[in-house]
A and B are shown apart, each in its own frame.
Chain A
Amino acid sequence: MSTQTHTNTARTGHLGEGTWWQGRSGLLVPLIMGAFSTYLLVGILTMEVAEDADKPGPQFFPMIIMIVGYALTILLTIAYIRNPEPVDVDDEQPAEAQEDRAFSTPVTSAVAASRLEPHEEDEPAADRRALAEAKAADAKHRTHSDFVSLAWGAGGFAAFALILEFAGWIIAAALLFWCVARSMGSKKPLFDLTVALTFSSLVYIAFAVMLGLNLPSGILGGGF
């Protein structure tokens, strides 16, 4: 919401850089809202309501939600088009500006009145420099969010969900563990695999054998 503090626009190799879309990827948010409102709209139109249903019927409340949902979609779209997100990387921000931003939310505005003036001491300079460096290093990346990591995590979970009942808990959970560990930047795939198998087996013993939860044993169980 506070774009004024950013003055510097150097950023290398950002996806969609220089196009109108730069800083407007936030339009995903109204897109989600709009899609969900449409889901509600279709549901309301196709709903089969009994003739004798009491007056504020089952469609009444979802209708309100849907209308508010569409209104928010429009407002959010306007907000994102008018105020693109700052995608630029800052040099060190002055401590005062940073604190001011921290104190500008409604929750914290209660505190703002009590701020010390003049500002005496905040985060040590080393910390802020480290933060700025981290931001700068990040800007060298191709994209803002690390979609490769994300794909490992989400893909791992999808694979886990799909093979769980066939392959059994121990194998599926170990796979999930391994994929997420990889998505977090682990560089030792073989060692990870042993950790993953140990972990999933321990969970199986603790929860399925001792606490009696229903976890599939899959191909490892009973088959041979």
Chain B
Amino acid sequence: MAETIVRGRVWHFGHDISTDLLSPGGFAIGSVDERKMHTLESVNPGFAGDVRPGDVVVTGRNFGCGSSRETAPENLKALGVGCIVAESLSRLFLRNAVAIGLPALVCPGVHEAFADGDDIEVDLASGRVVNHRTGAMLEASALPEEMREILDAGGILAVLRRQFGGEGDPSSG
């Protein structure tokens, strides 16, 4: 893994944050630059404008529930979010996050242990999650090796290009 430590500010969200909140249907076919500015606007209008590279989304149960739209993790990645730490993740969100190379971890207790604006450090390799404001330390479940390999490669399109030798940039558009 190129970079295993993510450290930044916490953006704290609740349970059942859906793909409709992460990537509203009305902007489904817009450019990523337009689309990303509507990420989570219904629950936190300041998020897209104020989030900084390396910040971490800490959230509750069933994060990313709903649609198959890969634009949900893609919007977060485009805004610079370093990783997601959730009580639980929807299957499709986790699959898509892995596919585009955005780390997403399941960490029981994380929703309680953090508040908005906390200073968080996540070790993606070991799963250690630290709250530097409170000193709390938690353990996230490690991702299976098969998923880590895709994440480490930078996403499944990078794996594919390695097979076929194409030039396309999966992070564009």
> Do A and B make up one complex?
no
Q: Which residues of A contact B (CB under 8 A)?
A: none
